[in-house]
Structure 1
Amino acid sequence: MKNIRFAILILILLPVSSCEDDFLDLKPLDSISEANVWEDLNLIELYVNDRYNELPHGFPQWAGGLRMTGITDESYHMHEARFLDKYTQGGLTSGSLNMYYFNGFWLDAYKAIRNQNIFLENIDRYEPNTGEEDRVRQLTAEIRFLRAYFYTELISRYGGVPLITTTFNVNSNFDVPRASFDDCVEFIVNELDEAIVDLPNRGDAIGASFGRITKGAAIGLKIRALMFNASPLFNVANDISKWQQVADACEELFNLSQYTLSSDYQGLFLNPMDSEVIFFKQFLDQFGFELVDEPSDFYFHYRGGHNINEWRFPNGDGGWISENPRQEFIDQYETVSGHIPVLGYTGAPNNLQPIINPNANDYNPNNPYQNRDPRLRYSVLYDNTEFKGRNLEMWTGGKDSRDPNVDFWWNGHRLGYGIRKSLDESWNLNDGVSGGQPWIYMRLSEFYLTYAEAQYHLGNYSTAVTYINQIRQRPGVNMPPINSSGDLLQKIKHERKIELAFESNRWYDARRWLDAEVDFAKDIIAVEPINNPSTGTRSYRYFYFEGGTGNRSFPQSHYLWPIPIEEILKSNLQQNPGY
């Protein structure tokens, strides 16, 4: 059916630039009077819509994408390594790096919070007509969710932060101290509990409301905040009651009966209507909002596209293959018998020999991608795998190998792999650089894994195993079940690493577990496929990408980001340790 498109101009209702006195200043309205906005429900809704656009996402994009995989042990980001090395090599300071990943996030988050505070201070000025009360309450709940979202992201990066709930004027006290982490979590949870009451269920969010914030999204965000609060990074006293709060919130989500595990692990990242998806961001290749009227395709979109296809597509299909999974991460994908195939490496830095797990009898080092967890094939581009109707040629001189005549930064791959997850294989270079597939913020598998982790800490091992195995044994994955013998917590961590790979979870998880000092400090291992033209077979050379020089590091200070030096100098904020 022909698309019916309604492009709505974005109203720049309020300026968002900060003054030199504080990051939450309030300047005069410019393009439309304040009185007009809060007297018209359509303008109010447009204001809320534009707040959605402030949400960051994890896709490659010239601005607004938080590509967290490149600062973890998941992958190496070729195009942006020159920026991210400050973090991955232990050189991050409060003043040395002025870019979106670090200093810029603090500023942008508080700008968004300021815009949300403006709404909450003014919405009571609107006198709803008969039948509009529920809509006003829902919009207010959406704003409360968005404010809670940014505070959750802030505390996960910085620890306790200033809780700003009003806009500032010339008479305001700008020296707002950092609240404790527990107080921040309490604020977030209270905000979300209040919002949940007035948000629709997924099944009720139809038409133009599909894709807007729902009860499930709000409960999911509450789970994340409580999970951070319960984890070792912030739960220094090991208060087990905090894990009970996590478990209770997970059960609150499950009891909605709105979501089920997907049987299409690869396809769910292209389909926001998949039964597993809880909250997503759908994109357009143009500015504005749009309703797409097609069978089963009528929902709320965001302005702008992203560059994921061009950044991640293989060279042979016009892409840059810029995000390269690391060999040691690939080794974490089990064989179909349920064993990790490679336990480590030995030998010369430029010719490493894999230490093969003797229990992995179904692993063939001459065909290392055969008999592996299906999620490897769904998530990673590797040599000889099928993609867009052909087998990839990642070997030197192959169609998908690096071009020695093209600049380093725009010319992957360097590690032998690319990220497949979320790629739209129907895309072609002539279609342009923008992509429209959704960014999945939350899906049910994440919260099954969180529930399993909470139940482990509560001593309910059989329940933890049950929820892990529901993920492993769902259709399309069909991996062997785990049991509670051995180190169950490590099994839970491993499953979370594999299931949520390249979805911007790994950076948060390794830090909250206090594992990053070891996991993120390992040297990068790469693979070079070598083609035998006479037989068409491959052999594989493994080597340290950076020569095994040990330049990867994760100092203890990196568990939290530094507050931007500009904010420290103009206020009484206390800096995080180590900066």
Structure 2
Amino acid sequence: MALQGCSVDLIPQDRIAEEKVWADPNSAELYVSGIYAEFKKFQFGQFPNLGYDNAMDALADGMKFTSNTAGNGTVNILVSNSNQFSSASVGLNYWASGYERIRRINEMINGINTKSSLSDAQKQVYEAEGRFVRAYAYFWLAKIHGSVILFKSMDQYTEKDHERSSEETVYDFILEDLQFAADHLPLNNLAGRATQGAAYTLMARVGLYAGSIAKYDLKQFNQDPLTGISQARSAEYFKKSADAAQKVIDMANGGLYALDDNFASIFTNKNTKEAIFRVDFAAPDVTHQYDLGYAPPRDAQGNTLVYGVPTAELVNEFEMADGSKFSWQNAAQAAAPYTNREPRFYATILYNGATWKGRTLNTSTTDAIEGFTTFGASGDPKRTVTGYYVRKMLDPTNTTFVQNKSTQSWIEMRYAEVLLIMAEAKAQLGDFATATTYINQLRQKRGLNALRLANNNQAMAAVEHERKVELAFEGHRFWDLRRWRKAHLLLDNVKFTGHKISPNATGLTYEVVSADATNRSFSTKLYYLPIPENEVQLNGALTQIKGW
């Protein structure tokens, strides 16, 4: 009572008042730039709670993680037993992390529109950036769970309990956010910040996913009333995808983007016009450890970590230089399997006999440091268990990555993906001539022959092949197989393989060997992963995904 007449509404001295953040253009700019940290959670194919680069590719058929112990080998534990996924241990858990970012973005949008003195034009750009990142976060949640909670404004946070929205509603909201972003973002922005091209590219990607789920899911795999998308809307989503891709293609035709002439250099050239949205790094403060995680052991005197290596299934997918299929049944090809392959092979895979950093790689059984070892022979072998190493995205000039780490950019979106999205969306709409045009535009830039795609089966087979090869190790394959509802056909009850290369009297033998200790396991339940159980317990209105 003695304080009567005094102001007790004091500003805490250990933090900046929200009004001051938005009143100061410099602090507002810092806040907005900070929301892009969300993309670093997924850089180089990471997944937040798995923690290692390319972990998502190791969930599919193109990469094999070398370790069989928890931590480095968590991915192998997950792919070997579908029962590892449960509401108590989701396996792929982005829920809390994603919703934390969504809340911060909603606070930002509210703050700039109600508490700032910024110009109306600047407010719109900042809101567009916020909604771009919010769409990205919601897209990950949708890919994992389908049906999730939508928080559209700060008003909703006054209530404790919130229901899930339908998967269809979630995808519509993501596309709505991205349309706003595309309408208000600039063509060019600061490095690592959203642009019109990035918004349209993400819109094209999201539309493709929604259309695929509408076409292929058909409520076959989950009876939750909120999961699935009406099949009647598949063409609508594919058209949204194609229309957004066309916007980016128009920008490329105007000189903003282009396919790179040198495939290998795309991932180490910060000036490549193929990059639409990327995460940049700069030594010594902002770095990553991709090279340490994937380079062959002798790159660091035997001390690289070799988290994952390419599978034979991926290696075999690369074509010959003339565009014909590679086959181990072809005697001439089997005798020299790494000769006359397409350019992307040499830019993606390090193989026995490859020249790398001034030496010739020996991945045969005769090399105790970089040569083949059987998966499971040791907990963390830190060498190849398939006869191959990753080449793509490694920096061939970086010889000090143990001490100084790495700085090549992570390209989250690039122009080649846009062409593949356009080809797929048009094929799904029955426009095979246009699908053929964009598949061939990519293939010809990569030094390959043109294809003729006369029907949906041919077009989708070409799209799947090109996405598997072109986008290898970029984090797409596992999610592609899920949206096409093919994961239970290709990732279940199977062992992926490598090549055990051994010398004999006349040369080398290439023995196909299993890179998996047990058959892989992918249950159809995994198309919709459970919400973490503790989140359901905390939220009285939140129901678990049916089946979990």
Structure 2 contact 62–472 (Cα < 8 Å) conserved:
yes
- Contact 2:366/2:502 (<8 A) preserved: no
- Name the CA distance, whole Å, in 2 between partners of 1:71 and 1:430: 26
Match of 1:409 among 368, 375, 380: 380
User: Offset of 1:463 from its aligned partner?
Assistant: 1.1
Q: What residue number does 2:344 align with?
A: 375
Give the alignment partner of residue 97 of structure 2, picking from 103, 108, 129.
108
Q: What residue identity is the alignment partner of 1:519?
A: L
Match of 2:85 among 76, 79, 93: 93
Equivalent in 397, 403, 419 of residue 432 of structure 1 = 403
Q: Give the 5 Å matches for 1:168-207.
A: 172-201=158-187, 204-205=188-189
Choose from 233, 237, 241 the match for 2:231: 237
Residue number in structure 1 paired with 2:250 = 255
Q: TM-score, normalised by structure 2?
A: 0.85
Residues 13-412 of structure 1 correspond to what in structure 2 (within 5 A)?
30-55=14-39, 56-59=41-44, 63=51, 67-79=55-67, 80-97=72-89, 102-103=92-93, 105-128=94-117, 133-167=120-154, 172-201=158-187, 204-205=188-189, 209-231=190-212, 232-233=216-217, 234-235=228-229, 237=231, 239-256=234-251, 257=254, 258-287=256-285, 304-318=286-300, 319-342=304-327, 354=328, 356=329, 363-398=332-367, 399-401=369-371, 408-409=379-380, 411-412=382-383
Question: Kindly tell me: are residues 193 and 29 of structure 1, through their superposed partners in 2, closer, same or farther at Cα, counting changes over 3 Å?
Answer: farther
**C-alpha displacement at 1:48, in angstroms?**
1.2
Name the CA shift for 1:67/1:540 in 2 (closer, same or farther; >3 Å). Answer: same
Q: Secondary structure at the match of 1:76?
A: strand
Going from structure 1 to structure 2, the CA distance change for 1:365 and 1:244 (only over 3 Å counts) comes to same
Matched letter for residue 348 of structure 2: S
Q: Secondary structure at the match of 1:437?
A: coil
Aligned-pair CA distance for 1:75: 0.7
SS of 2:500's equivalent in the other structure is strand
RMSD across aligned positions (CA): 2.6
Quote the Cα distance in structure 1 between the aligned partners of 2:170 and 2:248.
22
Q: Tell me the secondary structure at the aligned position of residue 371 of structure 1.
A: coil
Shift of 1:441: 0.6
1-structure distance, mates of 2:95, 2:393:
28
Structure with higher helix content: 2
Instruction: Give the Cα–Cα distance (whole angstroms) in 2 for the partners of residues 577 and 269 of structure 1.
Output: 41
Report what 1:523 is aligned to.
Answer: 495
Contact residue 307 and residue 435 of structure 1 kept, 8 A: yes
Which residue of structure 1 lines up, in the alignment, with residue 7 of structure 2? none
Specify the SS of the correspondent of 1:368: coil
The amino acid that maps onto 1:149 is Y
Encode CA deviations 1:413-467: one digit per residue, 9 max, x unaligned.
1111121111001112465262111111111111111111111122111111111
TM score, norm. by length of structure 1: 0.81
Q: CA deviation at 1:220?
A: 0.8
Which residue, 448, 451, 457 being the options, matches 2:422?
A: 451
Match 1:541 to one of 503, 511, 525: 511
Would the aligned equivalents of 1:328 and 1:524 in 2 still touch at CA under 8 Å? yes
Q: Is the 8 A contact 2:499 2:513 kept in 1?
A: yes
Where does residue 300 of structure 1 map in the other structure? none
Q: CA deviation at 1:340?
A: 2.6
Residue 511 of structure 1 deviates from its aligned partner by 0.7
Amino acid paired to 2:299: D
Give the length in aligned residue pairs.
Answer: 503
**Alignment CA distance shift 1:218-1:29 (3 Å):** farther
Deviations 1:89-118 (A, max 9, x none): 2123334536xx612x11111111111011
SS of 1:424 mapped into structure 2? coil
Alpha-carbon distance in 2 for matches of 1:168, 1:73: 44
- Give the % identical residues: 29
In the aligned structure 2, how far is the partner of 1:557 from the partner of 1:45? 43
Counterpart of 1:13 in structure 2 is none
Measure the CA separation in 2 of the matches of 1:556 and 1:57.
25
Distance verdict in 2 for CA 1:449–1:221, change over 3 Å: same
SS at match of 1:510: helix
Consecutive unaligned residues of structure 1, counting only runs of 5 or more, are 1-27, 288-303, 343-353
| Aligned mates of 2:267, 2:401 — CA distance in 1 | 23
Unaligned runs of 5+ in 2: 1-11, 218-227
Contact 1:451–1:467, Cα closer than 8 Å, also in 2: yes
Amino acid at match of 2:74: R
Q: 1:24 maps to which residue?
A: none
1:561 aligned to 2:548? Answer: no
Query: How far apart in 1 are the matches of 2:263 and 2:174?
Result: 31
One-letter code of the match for 2:170? C
CA contact (8 A) 2:88 2:533 kept: no
Choose the corresponding residue for 1:479, options 443, 448, 463: 448
